[in-house]
Amino acid sequence: MTDAGVRAFEMVAALDYERTAGSPQEAQAARSIVSALHSIGLSPHTQTFEIPLYQITRASFSVTSPASNALFFGVTGYGHSGNTPPEGLEAPFIYIENGEDSLLAQASGCIALLNIHPTPTLYHKMEAANVAGFVSISGAIDDDRRSTDLERRSLRIGRHVTSAEGGIPGLCIRAEDAARLLAAKPKRCKIILQQQTFFGQSANIIADIPGTGHSEETILFSAHYDSVPFSHGSYDNASGSAILLELCRFFKDNPLRRPCRFVWCGAEEIGLEGSRHYARSLSPDSLRQIVLNINIDLAGQLIGVNHAVVSAEESLCHILQFLAAHSEIGLTVRQGIFPSDASSFADVGIPAVTLYRTGAGGHSRKDTACLLHPLALQKTYDLALELTRYLGDSMVFPVSRAIPENVRQPLNDYFARTAGS
Ligand SMILES: [Zn+2]
C-alpha cells in the first residue's frame, strides 16, 4: 500500500483557502502545484489565459407597492447578467416558480421571482417573454443565516454578457426572504444592479510523462484547482488536484507504454474556462493524439460512493465496471456528461471520463480540509491508477475515439448550443 492518500491529504491541507478564478489566491495555488511538480522531478509549464470577470458595485431589491409593505431584502447580483439604470428598475412583480410557460406568458415587462437559477434555455425563454428583471432563490428555507452565505453567481448562457450589452439584470435572494416576500403579496418592486465587466487572468499547469511505446496515444488527466467564492474548495477540487499529483509521482517512476499528460485547470468554476482554453489551444495533430481524458473532480470524503461518468462509447463503462469488480473498488458507472472539465474535452472529440466521490458541503463555506480523509482520497487514487495502468499499457487502445450521439446531445445542451452548431 502506498501512502498516496496521506500525501494527497497534505496537499489538500496546503491549499485550504478560497481560490476563486483570477484571484491572487488562485495564482498562489498554481505556484504550489508547480513547486510540488518540481519536487517530483518534473518540469511543468504554465499556460495563461484571459477570463471574463465582473465587479458588482450596487445590488438591491425592494417592494414599492403596496407601500405599507416596503420590505428590503439582502441580495447578491448576478455577474454578467445586465445592468439596471443607475436609479433602478421599477416594475410589476410576478412569481414564475420554475419558469413554466403558463407563468412566463404573464411576465412581460415584469420582475420575475423564480425558484431556480436560470439555465441557458430558461434565460432565452425569459428574453423571448420580455422579462424585465429576475430574482432567483438561493439556498434552502431552513438555512441558518449565521452559517451559510448567499451565493454569488454569474450567468452562463453560452456567452458572457458584458455590462455594455444589456442582458436581463438578475439578483439572488435567500429562500427565507423569498418566502417572506411572497407572503407580503407584492404588486410592484424595484431592483438595482450595477456591475462592471472586465478581463482577468488564470492559468493551466501542464506536466508530461513520456511513454515507453505508443507515443502517439496520450492519456490526458485533468483536475481543476480553483474554488467558488466563500469556499476553500478542499472537496471541490483540491482533492482531485492532489490526487493528480500523486498519479504523476507514480507514473514518473513507473511509466506506461502510452504518454500521460497532466493538466491542472484554472477557472473551472466560472464556466470550464481553463479546459476550454487548453482544448482550443491544441493543434489538430496534438488533439488527435489524445485518446482519453480522465478527469477527477470531487474526492476525499469518507462517507460516500465513487462514481464514473463516461462521456465516450459504452464499452468504457464496461471496462470500468470490470476493473472496479476486479480491484474490489465500489463504483457506480453511467454514460453521459458531468459539469466539469471532461465536458470541454468530450466537446472537441476526446473520449472522457470523470471520476467523482459523493460527499457533503460542496460550493459552501463548509468545504474545508476538515471534510476529507486520506483513506477516501486513496480510494479515488487507486481507481484512477488501476484504470490508467490497464488502458495505458494495453497493446491496442480499447476505447474508440468517438463521442456517441447520446453524449453529444447533452454536451450541446450544456454548452447552450443548438444541434450542429
Ligand atoms: Zn469541481
Domain assignment of residue 193, yes or no = no
SS3 329: coil
Query: In whole angstroms, what is the distance from residue 219 CA to residue 310 CA?
Result: 15
**What average pLDDT does this structure show over 392-398?**
95
- Both 178 and 204 in a single domain? no
CA–centroid distance, residue 414 to ligand 1 (Å): 16
- Of 197, 138, 129, 198, nearest to 166 (Cα)? 197
What residues have CB less than 8 Å from 142, skipping those under 6 apart? 176
Domain boundary among 134, 158, 183: 183
CA distance 93 to 54: 27
Does a structural domain hold residue 297? yes
Which cell numbers hold the place of 25? 489566491
Q: How far is the CA of 244 from the centre of ligand 1 (A)?
A: 14
Residue 84 belongs to some domain of the structure:
yes
SS3 296: strand
Q: What is the pLDDT of residue 159?
A: 61
Question: Does the pLDDT of residue 308 top 70, yes or no?
Answer: yes
Pairing state between β 306-311 and 332-335: parallel
Q: What is the mean pLDDT of residues 376-403?
A: 96
Distance of CA 360 from the midpoint of ligand 1 (Å): 13
Query: Distances in Å between the alpha carbon of 293 and those of 33, 121, 302, 391?
Result: 20, 28, 26, 11
Residue 394 lies in a domain: yes
Q: Is residue 141 part of a domain?
A: yes
Same domain, 321 and 260: yes
Distance 298 CA to ligand 1 centre (A): 6
Calculate how far, in angstroms, residue 369's C-alpha sits from the geometric centre of ligand 1. Answer: 15
> Could you tell me the distance, in angstroms and rounded to a whole number, from the CA of residue 341 to the centre of ligand 1?
8
One domain for residues 20 and 78:
no
Residues 226, 321 within the same domain? yes
Residue 401 in domain: yes
Q: What is the pLDDT of residue 421?
A: 33
236 alpha carbon – ligand 1 mean position (Å): 5
Which ranges in 312-373 belong to alpha helices (H)? 314-326, 341-347
**Omega within 30 of 0 (cis) for the link into 130:** no
Domain check: are 359 and 298 in the same one?
Answer: yes
Can you tell me the distance from the alpha carbon of 195 to that of 193, in angstroms, rounded to the nearest whole number?
Answer: 7
Q: Is there a domain that residue 154 lies in?
A: yes
Q: What is the pLDDT of residues 152-161, one digit of tens each?
A: 888 876 666 6
The CATH number covering residue 154 comes to: 3.50.30.30
**Within 13 Å and on the Cβ side, how many CA atoms surround 270?**
29
How far does residue 333's CA lie from ligand 1's centre (Å)? 18
Residues 354, 206 share a domain: yes
State which amino acid sits at residue 69: N
* Whether residues 400 and 320 fall in one domain: yes
Count up the domains in the chain and report the number.
Answer: 2
pLDDT above 80: residue 418: no
Q: Which of 158, 183, 208 is the last residue in one of the domains?
A: 183
CB of 129 closer than 8 Å to CB of 110: no
pLDDT, the chain, mean: 93
| Distance from the alpha carbon of residue 82 to the mean position of ligand 1, in angstroms | 26
Beta strands in 72-187 (DSSP E): 72-73, 75-77, 89-95, 111-114, 133-138, 170-174
378 shares a domain with 280: yes
- C-alpha 226 to ligand 1 mean position (Å): 8
Q: Is the dihedral of CA 212, 218, 219, 225 positive or negative?
A: positive
Please report which confidence band the pLDDT of residue 166 belongs to, taking 50, 70 and 90 as the band edges.
confident
Residue 328 confidence (pLDDT)? 86
Q: Are residue 28 and residue 77 in the same domain, yes or no?
A: no
Q: Strand pairing partners for 49?
A: 202
pLDDT tens for each residue of 15-45: 999 999 999 999 999 999 999 999 999 999 9
CA of 232 to the centre of ligand 1 (A): 12
The answer, yes or no, to whether residue 420 has pLDDT greater than 60, is no
CA–CA separation, 48 and 51 (whole Å):
10
Query: Is the domain of 309 the same as that of 369?
Result: yes
Instruction: Let me know: does 155 contact 120? Beta carbons within 8 Å.
Output: no
How far apart are the C-alpha atoms of 94 and 81, rounded to whole Å?
A: 19
Residue 268 Cα to ligand 1 midpoint, Å, equals: 7
Going from the Cα of 419 to the center of ligand 1, the distance in angstroms, rounded, reads 26
Q: Is the pLDDT of residue 419 over 80?
A: no
Question: Each residue of 215-230: pLDDT tens digit?
Answer: 999 999 999 999 999 9
Range of 290's domain? 4-52+200-414
| Residue in the block written with cell 463555506 | 365
DSSP string covering 241-269, please? HHHHHHHHHHHHHS--SS-EEEEEES--T
Residue 1 above 60 pLDDT?
Answer: no
